Amino acid sequence: VGGVPRLAPEADSLQARAGVLTGEAAITVGLVGQGMIAGDLVNTASRLQSIATPGTVLVGDATYRAASRSIAFEDAGQRELKGKELPVQLWRAVSVVAKRGGEGRSATLEPPFVGRDDELSQLKDLFHATSRDGKSRLVTLSGVAGIGKSRLLWELEKYLDGVVDLVYWHGGRSPSYGEGISYWALAEMVRGRAGIAESDDQATARERIRQMLAEFVPSDEDRRWIEPRLTGLLGIDELPSESRDELFAAWRTLFERIAERAPTILAFSDLQWADQGLLEFIEQLLSWSRASPIFVLAEARPELYERRPTWGHGVRSATLIHLDPLGDEDMRRLLTGLVPKLPDAALRRIVERAEGVPLYAVETLRMLIDRGVIQPSESGFALTGELPELAVPETLHALIAARLDALTPEQRSVLADGSVLGVSFTVPSLMAVSGLHEAEVSKLLDALVARELLTLDIDPRSPERGQYRFLQGVVREVAYQSMGKRSRQAKHLAAARFFESLGEGELAGVLATHYLAAYRAAPAGPEAEALAAQARIALRGAADRATALHDLLGGLAYIEQALPITPDPVDQAALHERAVPLAGEAAQFPRALEHARAAAAIYADLGDRLGVVRAKARQAFAQLAEHQDQTAIALLRDALADTADLGPSADIAHAQAELGRALMLAGEVESIEWCDRVLEQSAVATPEIVLEAVITKGTALQNVGRDLEGEIILRGAALVADSMGALFSAIRARNNLRVQLQSSDLRASLELTRELLEISRKFGQRTWVLHGAAALVDISFRLGDWDSYLDEAKAEHVEASGYYRSWFAAEEAMRETYRGDPAAAEATLKRLLESEGSATSEQAITWHTAAMAEAQLAQGRAEEAFATAAESWSHSAEADRAYVAGLFAAGAAADSTKVEAVRAAWRAAGAGQLPLHIALERIADALTSAIDGRWNDARAAYSAALDALEQVGEQLTIARLRVALAHLAGDRIPEVAAKVPEAEAFFAERGASSWVATYRASARVPSRQRGSAVAMSETNEPEPSEGARKAVGRSSGSVRTTG
């Protein structure tokens, strides 16, 4: 009824009314799709509806009694209705105050819901769209403390409980020290869904997990896979030793299976305090569970965007709802809804000071209740007498502080003790911090609940059942700020000792937080040093726990917190070194490099030469994650320059393997030599290092034309990686194997890339997701499908690093080249070549340079295009695209000498016989023969090139070859002339007709070919040339190998 006016806001008169009665009626039995309900109940309900005021709902006594625990009613008096001998008692529905059966009904002061109807309507619409479309969605509710975020979630929860048949709601809250507790809110959701209470022992909790999985996960195999990853999350069992991505995949699969049953909501509260691992899980869940009706509600203060400015940017369906302050009229409605006869002067004063923050107004009323000025009444609250002069504090914090000042010293002290423990706490933990007996603590807690500062969680399904919780997070903040440093030190130390006594690994982060806070509150001296030692131990333990959960940024944060309180340089270096892989895997490359440099500097000061080599190898790995091969090569050459006297070691082998990889990415043959050095030290190198060296060698062999060797090595490496459970190496081997397919079968390469992308998404290998998405765009372009994967790749690359961002930008520029704006494409590519993401990557330089040559050719600048293409022939990485660009630029210049220069360049790179390499040779033959007027040779070479290109699937190259040969030969090669309309149609269908027109207007034609039926240029100068084709060679076929 309340929503009807919003259906047509321009029609002020559109309203609805309803009458509801509960009782017995006669119905038609056995009919499907039709029927009748009759009887006195129906007639009376109709009459009841007719007397209801538009926009209201009237109900009878039976309905009132049945629904009063969930819906607030006001007395509508007795009314005489037609057909009734006696007046009927009626009630008017005012608001929904709880879920069905009264579940969740607040025992505290709950103001009327005002000023947020539009936001609630938007939330409802977004949820129903998620349910209807079966797609995941993120909605972030942002606003300052007390603005009404939690209330909006509660209104949505009540709505869904009343109108949706089945929805699975999961709620989780991040405590204010969330940086120290990995995935706490997620663990709360799992506990809630499994029905695990705080008091359950490990055996009971484990059994409840199994029961939940049996209910929602049909596959035995999936249940066996998910269970240890859930019990590990809850600290019941040790986590499996695996990547974070495997954990994420298991947790994600649980919610996907739940969503197969009904729409699933994950409501995260206080997300501004969440650990980075949780934020990454949420975004990953939304990215990879796109086909599941999972509705993620993120409630946070604006600080979330200070910590994570790109929050939600990479999510396809993401909505930000920012809650602005309420207007004055809404604030007056809120206050008078609670206290109908509040004097005008007091009303104005509160509204002015509240500045649109509902909690401020509510806390003001609570302060008056504390003073006994306002007391409960049948219609809400009422003044007990004259309202005294109202001195309202200016800020919300000051207002709450004033309320706390009104407490007894004992109440104030125990509230402060609770604030040390967090937003929620148990009675035993409060006893440990306060030093009070249970009876004393319980009495004080009851008083604080009565004053609406705390609330007791009595929901039987809540994992926090039996815990006390601050009614508002801001109350906890004010209580904590009221404590002096010395008191904080003692209380945090008591809390640390309590949690330590529990011996629960799940609480490692909590323990570290309390020891660190105790140290920071202590004055300098022996006591502080002892606390620092305890804090270091606790922080290392917390880092272990976070790393086991693959909360990489959480683990990194603990390490970085431990560094300032670690005086020993050896320990400092070890911490820096430990931080490098955490930062690198979390894509925090500047932090990884900073820690690696710091570790190397400390090891150098200590004279630990192997330590320096090890730290620099880690630094190079971080650099290669962004394809900074030139920087990594220089670093590693320097590191290995003076290690001959150190003898074989795993550290040196690691550095050699990374150098081999960097050289491979740069297209250097020397890569093979460094890989062989690693393999010769297999007795000291770890299996992981040996495997990576093998993958690099296989790829480097392909780069020099030893294709079969490379393929055998890579296929074997993939199998070994699978058996070792080395996910990164398994994907890397397959990716590099995929590259070879691009020289023999683009369609097969496309399918393998899709497979790799699916695996990478499933296991959260973010770098490989970016790699695969960009590769799909590249491969499909060559196949002639220019648009299918663009949107998908664009969504993935929103937060990509510089290298991958430049790769995708180059793919977009290639399409611009053909679709009519090659000048803009050239400008883009010049910028990319100078960008940080490309300048230190030989692969990126080669690719962008070849693409720029194509853009220049599309503008009719054949000579310049040829010179640009030639710049990148010295690099074997990505060279095939440079050779293609050079060939067609030479053809447009009608210069067979240039064609032969391209041929000489790829022959110098090695020899091979994959279909693409054969095609390049035959294209060169066809162009040279056509330029020289040897039509039979040109015809034979064209036919051979066409066979090879069709085998590969290079549809774009086929269309270009036909246009180029027809321009040179006219109608003298009938097989080509007959296919020119097909080539023109190829470009026209892709919006690229302008490319054909520009080519024909600018490309040269030898003088002997002028005037032919197909050649159109009248202004070209002849470029006759001689030359005979030489023996078949090959081109380098390395195409965007790997990181």
Q: Give per-residue pLDDT as tens, 827-867.
A: 999 999 988 778 788 888 888 999 999 999 999 999 999 99
In 818-926, DSSP assigns E strands to: none
pLDDT band, residue 912 (cuts 50/70/90): low
- How would residue 1018 be classed by pLDDT, with cut points 50, 70 and 90? very low
pLDDT at 496: 92
Residue 103 reports pLDDT greater than 90? no
Mean pLDDT of 643-661: 93
Is the Cβ–Cβ distance between 671 and 642 less than 8 Å? no
Q: Which carries the bigger pLDDT value, residue 162 or residue 12?
A: 162
Q: Give the tens place of pLDDT for each residue, 728-742.
A: 898 889 889 888 888
**pLDDT at residue 249 greater than cutoff 60:** yes
pLDDT band at 590 (very low <50, low <70, confident <90, very high): confident
Q: Is the pLDDT of residue 1011 over 60?
A: no
Q: What tens digit of pLDDT does each residue of 278-318 get?
A: 998 998 899 888 889 999 999 999 888 888 887 887 787 89
With a cut of 80, say whether residue 911 has pLDDT above it.
Answer: no
In this prediction, residues 34-62 reach a mean pLDDT of 82
Q: Does domain 4-96 have CATH number 3.40.630.30?
A: no
> What's the whole-number mean pLDDT along residues 997-1002?
94
Residue 1040 class from Cβ within 10 Å (0-12 exposed, 13-18 middle, 19+ buried)?
A: buried
- For residue 582, name the pLDDT band (cuts at 50, 70, 90): confident
Tell me whether residue 935 is exposed, middle or buried, using C-beta atoms within 10 angstroms of its C-beta: 0 to 12, 13 to 18, 19 or more.
Answer: middle
pLDDT of residue 235: 86
Other beta carbons less than 10 A from residue 379's beta carbon: 12
Residues belonging to the chain? 1043
Mean pLDDT of 795-823: 86
Element (H, E) at 91: strand 88-96
845: three-class secondary structure by DSSP: helix
Main-chain dihedrals φ then ψ at residue 401, nearest 5 degrees: -60, -35
Domain ranges in the chain are 4-96, 117-322, 328-402, 810-821+838-1009
pTM of the model: 0.68
Cα distance between residue 916 and residue 953, in whole Å: 10
Q: State the pLDDT at residue 1023.
A: 36
Q: What is the mean pLDDT of the chain?
A: 85
3-class SS string, 161-205: HHHCCCCEEEEEECCCCHHHCCCHHHHHHHHHHHCCCCCCCHHHH
pLDDT score, position 403:
83
Residue 781 confidence (pLDDT): 95
Q: What is the rounded distance in angstroms from the CA atom of residue 1 to the CA atom of residue 58?
A: 11
pLDDT band at residue 1014, thresholds of 50, 70 and 90?
very low
Lowest mean pLDDT among 192-201, 687-696, 744-753, 986-995: 192-201
Q: Tell me how many helices (H) and strands (E) the chain has.
A: 48, 16
Least confident piece of the model among 232-246, 527-541, 706-720? 232-246
Q: What is the DSSP letter of 236?
A: S
More confident residue, 943 or 42: 943
Residue 801, pLDDT above cutoff 80 = no
Closest of 557, 577, 579, 506 to residue 277, by C-alpha: 557
> Which tens digits make up the pLDDT trace of 861-892?
999 999 999 988 866 556 788 899 999 999 99
**pLDDT over threshold 90, residue 481:** no
DSSP string, 732-784: HHHHHHHHHHTTT-HHHHHHHHHHHHHHHHHTT-HHHHHHHHHHHHHHHHHHT
Q: What is the mean pLDDT of residues 975-981?
A: 94
Q: Give the pair of three-digit tokens for residue 182.
A: 């990995």
* 164 band by pLDDT with thresholds 50, 70 and 90: low
Backbone angles phi, psi at 677, to 5 degrees: -60, -40
The set of residues, in sequence order, having a beta carbon less than 8 Å from that of 215 and lying 6+ positions away, is none
**Residue 1008: pLDDT band by 50, 70, 90 thresholds?**
low
Mind listing the pLDDT tens digit for each residue in 489-515? 999 999 999 988 887 777 888 888 899
Taking 80 as the threshold, does the pLDDT of residue 104 lie above it?
A: no
**Beta pairing class for 468-470 and 424-425:** antiparallel
Whether pLDDT at 1040 is above 70: no
Task: Report whether 14 contacts 7 (CB < 8 A).
Answer: yes
pLDDT at 811 over 50: yes
pLDDT at 1019 over 60: no
pLDDT at 262 over 90: yes
Q: Each residue of 140-150: pLDDT tens digit?
A: 999 988 899 99
Q: pLDDT band at 39, cuts 50/70/90?
A: confident
- Domain 117-322 of CATH type 3.40.50.300: yes
pLDDT (mean) for 522-541: 91
Residue-level pLDDT at 887: 95
What pLDDT, on a 0 to 100 scale, did the predictor assign at position 463? 54
pLDDT at 89: 84
**In contact, 392 and 349? CB cutoff 8 Å:** yes
**Looking at residue 108, what is its pLDDT?**
59
Q: Is the pLDDT of residue 1021 over 80?
A: no
- 422 vs 108, which has greater pLDDT? 422
Q: Is the pLDDT confidence value at 767 over 60?
A: yes
Indicate the range of 85-89, 252-256, 743-747 predicted with least confidence. Answer: 85-89
Of 299, 310, 293, 269, nearest to 186 (Cα)?
269
Stretch (H or E) spanning 322: strand 318-322
**pLDDT tens digit sequence for 167-203:** 999 999 888 764 557 888 999 999 999 998 877 888 9
CATH code, residues 810-821+838-1009: 1.25.40
